[in-house]
Structure 1
Amino acid sequence: MSGEVTGGVRVILRLEGLVVLAAALLAYSKFGNGWGVFAIFFLVPDLAFLGYLMGPRVGAVAYNFAHSYIGAVACLTAGLLLSMPLLLTAGLIWCAHIGFDRMLGYGLKYQAGFGFTHFGRIGKHA
């Protein structure tokens, strides 16, 4: 087994990304700080790409941290439980970003290089 998902499982994971994106957008419309803030911060998790300047191992760790639901949901939960609207906003935007990426088929990265994801190979060598 190659460590990548295929077939129906891949479709389900991409649909899950769409559902998370839709849920985050719906929640943001109710609890967020305006769509301008959303637009400004939506791509912030992609700054993790800079980790690849230090090699594929560091890049994969940085990318996976920024594109895993663990930190995003922790931020969202802390915002709710501690009544901190900025954390709630950040968590919703972060979840929306991850959902968007997963919907498009951009998965968590393996240390072999940026193009190796749990969804399979991406890029021109896919």
Structure 2
Amino acid sequence: MTPELWQRAEGAVIALVALAGALALGGWWWPLVLFLVYDLSALGYVAGTRVGAFVYNLVHAYALPSLLLLWGVTVHGWDASSWSRWLLLIAVSWFFHVGVDRALGYGLKHDDSFQHTHLGWIGRGRPEG
């Protein structure tokens, strides 16, 4: 199995675990409702490919949802209070989005083209050869 396939499989597992987390929080539908919100980061490409890749990668890495999850758990705990629940639902929805993207082959972007990702080329932007 190639490293790219391992990363795609890992993304699928993370998406499933995130969905289970949302289910445990009583909001299994939130990852679906919020799914496209995280793709608004692609608007950074209006400022050029370098800025676009930076903004997109910032939102599509696991670091920020991990910090949000950590904040939700350490500051608010696992109880079902409104702040804790919302922070955790946003975090697991974010993990779900990134996991599904990775499972589908949409990886972190290189700054030369939106179609050039760490998992390979997507769409019609593939170079010849």
Normalised to the residue count of structure 1, the TM-score between the two structures is: 0.88
| Maintained 8 Å contact 2:31/2:92 | no
Matched, 1:101 2:95: no
User: Superposed, which structure 2 residues align to 1:1-126 within 5 Å?
Assistant: 8-33=2-27, 35=29, 37-83=30-76, 84-126=84-126
Other structure's SS at 1:43 match:
helix
Q: Give % identity.
A: 39
1:30 and 1:22 mapped to 2: Cα distance? 12
| Cα offsets for 1:59-90 (capped at 9, x unmatched) | 00110011000001111111111222211111
Measured in 1, the distance between the counterparts of 2:21 and 2:33 equals 18
Q: Write the letter of the residue equivalent to 2:114.
A: F
* Matched-pair contact (CA < 8 Å) for 2:19–2:31: no
**Unmatched tracts of structure 1, length 5 or more:** 1-6
Return the alpha-carbon distance in structure 2 between the equivalents of residues 31 and 52 of structure 1: 34
1:41 and 1:87, CA in 2 relative to 1: closer, same or farther beyond 3 A?
same
Q: Once the 2 structures are TM-superposed, how far is the Cα of residue 33 of structure 1 from its aligned partner?
A: 3.4
SS at match of 1:111: coil
The one-character-per-residue Cα deviations of 1:5-61 (angstroms, maximum 9, x if unpaired) are xx61111100000000000001110114351x3332121110001000110011001
Unaligned runs of at least 5 residues, structure 2: 77-83
Query: How many Å separate the matches in 2 of 1:113 and 1:63?
Result: 12
